Amino acid sequence: MVTATQRIEIAALRLSAKQVIDTTAAGDSFSAGYLAARLQGADVADAARAGHRLAAAVIQYPGAIIPPSHMPSLKETHHV
Give catalytic residues, as residue numbers.
28
- Burial (0-12, 13-18, 19+ Cβ within 10 Å), 24: middle
Q: Are 40 and 67 in contact (CB under 8 A)?
A: no
Q: Report CA 28 to chain centroid distance, whole Å.
A: 9
What secondary structure letter does DSSP report for 64?
Answer: S
